[in-house]
Amino acid sequence: MDMSQYLGIFIDEAKEHVQAMNDGLLALEQDPENEQTIEAIFRAAHTLKGMSATMGFENIAELTHSMENVFDKIRHHEIKVTPETMDTLFKCLDSLEEFLTAITADEGGLPDVEHLITELQAHLEGNRPARFEVAATADQPQSAAAPAEPEPDLSLIPLTEQELDEMREEISKGLNPLQIKVYLDRNCILKSARAYLVIRNLEERGQVIRVVPSLADLEEENFDRSFEVVFLSYLNLDEVGSIIKHISEIEKVEIIPYPVPMESTPQSEQVSDQAGSSEQRGEAEHRQKDANASKEHATQVLHKSKVRQTVRVDIEKLDSLMNLVAELVINRSRLAQIGIEIKSSVFNETIGQLAQITTDLQSLVMKARMVPIDQVFSRFPRMVRDLSRELGKEINLIIDGADTELDRSVVDEIGDPLIHLLRNAVDHGIEAPEVRERHGKPKAGMVRLSARHEGNQVVVQISDDGAGIDYEKIKRKAIQRGIIDEEDASSLNDEEIAKLLFKSGFSTAEKITDVSGRGVGLDVVASKIQALNGSVDLESKPGQGSTFSIKLPLTLAIIQALLVKLGHSEVYALPLENIEEIINISPADLKMVQDQQYILYRGQVIPAVDLSKLFEVPDCCHEETDKRTMVVTKTAGRRIGLMVDDLIGQQEIVIKSLDKLIKDVEGFAGAAILGDGTVSLILDVLEIALIQRRLARKSQSEKELVAISE
Amino acid sequence: MTEGDKPMQIVQIVVFKVGGLEYAVGIEQVQEIIDRAEITRVPHAPDFILGVFNLRGKIVPAIDLLRRLGLGSTSQTAQIIVEVATEDHTIGILADDVTETTEVDVNDIEPPSVMIGDTSQKYIKGIVKIEERLMSLLDLEALLSMDETTAGERQVR
C-alpha cells in the first residue's frame, strides 16, 4: 500500500506527539509524582509507536517502544525519575525530531538509535527503588496498556465524586444510569467515526457522563475495537441497545445498569458493593478488582461534551480562500455604491444580506487561519532548559498569553526570530549566577515571554532581568565596525544607540559561545519581522534588564478604516484602530515650537501634522484661518494629530501590498481598492510620526546652520 | 543589420509610442494593454512613478517612461497603459499609442550607441531598426531597479 499520501499527516501528528512528550517531560521534571503527566507521556509514546510502525518507520517504532517501556516503569513506580533518565529521554526526543526532519526533507541517513535504546535499557534495569507508597493514588487503577479485551463481561468504570453527584441529581429526575460497551465490527475502517456516531446518537437521547477510552483517544483511534460509555437516559436498556445496533458496523452491544451509590462515600468500595447487588443481567459480571484493562484512561476527567471532528487543510487552500473573500469584500463595496445610485429598495435589501454573509464568511475564514502562538512558544521551555544547563545559569522562563491567536502565516514565520531573541536574553542578558549575587539580584535569572493583543496587532515581548545593554560598549563597537563614526556617536541618544544593534554585523558578546555570536545578528531578526509587516523595539535599563517588543499584524488582510479627503480629490484610508478621536480645531489652537506644530490635547502636548502639506497635495485648499478637522491617532503609545480636509466615512478595506518599487516610500501601510474601483493609500500613522519628527529635526538643524553661518 | 554567418533568431516585440518616439519591449514581458485607468498619486514616490492604479484587484504602479529616461514627461496626454512584468515587478507604462506587435531578428538589434545620451542609455538594451524606423528596446530590469534612484529621491524633502 502506498503510504506516501499519508506522510504529511503522519509528520504533523508525530510532531504533535513529540511535542506532547516534551511538555510532559518538562512537567515531570518539576513534579515527578504526577500520575496524569506520566499517563499523558505514555499515551503519546504509545500512539507514536503505533503510527510509525504502520508507516513503516521501524526505527521510530523501536525507539518509542523503548521509551514507552521506561514510561511504563515510571508509571508503576518501578524506576525512579533521575536527571540522567531525563537527559536520555530528552535525547530520544531530539532523535525523534531529527527523524521527522529527515523524513520531511526526504533525506537518507537517519540517526542511529541503537545507543539510545541501550541507554534506555540501562535505565530500565538500574534505578529500581523500593515500591513507592501509593496511598494517594489507591483508587486510581494502573496497569499495562493492554488493549481492551473483547470479553463478554463488563466491569464498572469508576467515576469521580463529581460525576457521581451529577448522576444522582439526574437519577432523581427519573433517568436511568447505564454502562454501555460497544464492539465495533472487526472490519470497521473508520473506527473513530463509528465511535463518534454512537456517542452522538447517545447524546441526542441523554447525557454522556464518561467515555473510556477518552474522547480524544477515540478520535485518534487509540483503541482496539470496543469502548465503553456511562450514560444517563430516560430510555431503558433495550431501547438504548436497539438505537446503537441501528448504526452500521457495530458487532455487539452490552449494556448494564450503572449502580450509583446514593451517598458520597469512598468510591471504589461503594461501587463494588452496589455492583454485587445489581446483577440484573447474566452477562454483566462486575469484577472491580480486574477493572483495569479498559480503564487505562479512567484517571482522565473529561468535560468535553462531544467529539470534535477536525480536518487538516493545506494552508495554501486557506490562502486562496482568503484572497477570494477579499475580492468578495471589494465587490460588495462596489455593489453598495451602485445601490446608492440606483435607489432600488429590493436591490439594496439584497446587498444588505450579501454584506452580512460576506462579513460572516470573512470572519470565519479569518478564524480558520488563526492558531494560538503556543505552537511556537511550546518549544521554548525545553530550549531554555538546555541552554541554561549548558551555560551554567539558572533561569526561570515565564510564559504569558500562549493562547493568543494570530494568523497561521505569521506564527509560522515568527519562530526563528523568537529563538534568536530568547537565546540572546539567556546568553547576553542574564548574568552568571555569581555575578547576579554580587549585584544583589536573585541567583536565578528571569526571562519572560509574553504575547497579547493590542488592537489589530499582537505584541510579543521578551524581557529579562539581566544586565541590560551597555550603551557605551555598543557605541564603541559600532565605531570599531565602521557602522558609525565618532562624530555620529556623540550625537546619538540611547534610543538611537539601541537601534544600532539591529544593524548588520553586530555581536557584543565578549566571548564567542555556542549559543550566540555566530555572526548572525539582530539584523536578521529585524529584517524577518519587517518582512511580516511587523516592528521590533528594544528598551533597556543598565543593570535592570532589557525588553524586546515585537509588534505583528494580527491578520494580513481586512481592516476597518476611516476614509479621509486631502485637498479636493485625494482619498486616504486611516486604520480605525489607530484613531482615538476626531476633533475640530481653530488655527489658534495650533502652537509653533521650533518649526513644529503642536496642539494641546487633553492636557498633553501632541504634534499636529497637516497631511495635505506633508504629502504636497497639489490643489491644497484651506486658508490659514480656516477651522480644521483633526483626527487624533495613537500608535505605539504615542499620540499625533492629523489634520485632514474632509471625512468621508468608515469602510471595511482589504489591505493590498504595494509593489516593491514604492514599498520604501514612507507613510503608507499599503493600498486599498474603494467601492468606485479607485485606489486609496492606507496611512501608516507610525511612519508619519517618524517623518514628522525627522522633518522637525532637520529644520531645526538647518536653522542652527543658518545661525552659525550668520 | 544582418550578418550573414549568424543564424536568424526571431523575437517578438510590442512597439508603443511615448512622446513621439517609439519604444519596444519583448512580448513575453507584456501582460496586457488597457485604457488609462484612474491613477492615485503616491506622495514622496520617485518622480517617474505617477502613482498606482487598480488592475482587476491588483495594485500596480504607473510609470512615466519619459521622466525615467530624463526626456520630459508624458503623463498628461497618454491614454493607454502597457502592463509589463519582470521577475520582481508588475508595472504599467503610460503610452500614447501602441503601434504594432512584430517580429525582429535578434541580429537586427544593435547595441545602444553612446550618442543616445547618458541618462536613457542604461535603460535600453538595444536599438531595433525596422525599415526606416528606429526604436529603443527597453531593459525593464534596469528601468525598475531602484538602487541608484531612490536613495536620494525618496527621502522626504
Lowest mean pLDDT among A99-103, A427-431, A570-574, B30-34: A99-103
Pairing of strands A395-400, A445-454: parallel
In the predicted model, is pLDDT for residue A640 greater than 60? yes
A604 Cβ partners below 8 Å, 6+ apart?
A: A639
Is residue B84 less than 8 Å (CB to CB) from chain A? no
Give chain A's mean pLDDT: 76
Query: pLDDT of A19-44, one tens digit each?
Result: 888 888 888 887 777 778 888 888 88
In the predicted model, is pLDDT for residue A296 greater than 60? no
What pLDDT does residue A3 have? 59
Is residue A327 less than 8 Å (CB to CB) from chain B? yes
Q: What percent of chain A has pLDDT over 90?
A: 6
H or E element that contains B128: strand B124-130
What pLDDT does residue A102 have? 79
Pairing of strands A457-464, B21-26: unpaired
What pLDDT does residue A106 have? 67
What pLDDT does residue A138 have? 37
Choosing from A39, A68, A219, A296, which is the catalytic residue? A68
Q: Cα–Cα distances in Å, from A408 out to A66, A405, A533?
A: 35, 9, 14
Is residue A567 less than 8 Å (CB to CB) from chain B? no
Q: What is the largest CA-CA distance in chain B?
A: 55
Q: Cα–Cα distances in Å, from B71 out to B67, B128, B152?
A: 6, 19, 20
Select the more confidently predicted residue: A228 or A593. A228
ipTM of the complex, rounded to two decimals = 0.84
Query: pLDDT of A113-137, one tens digit each?
Result: 777 787 777 777 664 443 333 333 3
Query: Quick check: A396 and A445 in contact, CB under 8 A?
Result: yes
From the CA of A606, how many Å to the nearest CA of chain B? 21
Running DSSP on this structure, what letter comes out for residue B40?
B
Q: Of the candidates A294, A333, A366, which has an alpha carbon nearest to the alpha carbon of residue A556?
A: A366
What pLDDT does residue B78 have? 80
Band of the pLDDT at A573, cuts 50, 70, 90? very high
Distance between CA B20 and CA B22 in Å, rounded? 7
Q: What percent of chain A has pLDDT over 70?
A: 81
**Across the interface, do A615 and B90 touch by the CB < 8 Å criterion?**
no
Residue of A nearest to B154 (CA): A665
CB atoms within 10 A of CB A25: 22
Query: Quick check: A230 and A209 in contact, CB under 8 A?
Result: yes
Band of the pLDDT at A642, cuts 50, 70, 90? very high
Residue B23 grid cell = 519604444
A68 is catalytic: yes
- From the list A657, A677, A694, the residue facing B156 with the nearest CB is A694
Residue A231 grid cell = 450514560
**Contacts of residue A614 in chain B, CB cutoff 8 Å?**
43
In the predicted model, is pLDDT for residue A282 greater than 80? no
Q: Is the dihedral of CA A636, A641, A642, A646 positive or negative?
A: positive
Select the more confidently predicted residue: A604 or A502. A604
Residues in chain A: 710
Distance between CA B62 and CA B77 in Å, rounded? 14
Query: Quick check: A301 and A160 in contact, CB under 8 A?
Result: yes
Query: pLDDT of A547-568, one tens digit each?
Result: 999 988 766 566 788 999 998 8
Is residue B62 less than 8 Å (CB to CB) from chain A? no
In the predicted model, is pLDDT for residue A150 greater than 50? no
Is residue B45 less than 8 Å (CB to CB) from chain A? yes
**Across the interface, do B52 and A695 touch by the CB < 8 Å criterion?**
no
Residue of B nearest to A677 (CA): B54
Region A466-479 average pLDDT: 82
Top mean pLDDT of A158-162, A649-653, A704-708 is at: A649-653
Query: pLDDT of A168-217, one tens digit each?
Result: 877 877 788 888 888 888 777 777 878 888 888 888 788 888 888 887 78
Residue of B nearest to A682 (CA): B42
Region A528-547 average pLDDT: 81
From the CA of A317, how many Å to the nearest CA of chain B? 19
Top mean pLDDT of A49-63, A270-284, A635-649 is at: A635-649
Q: Following DSSP, what letter does each residue of A80-149 receive, concatenated?
A: ---HHHHHHHHHHHHHHHHHHHHHHTT-S-PPP-HHHHHHHHHHHHS--PSPPP-GGGTTS-----PPPP
Region A437-450 average pLDDT: 89
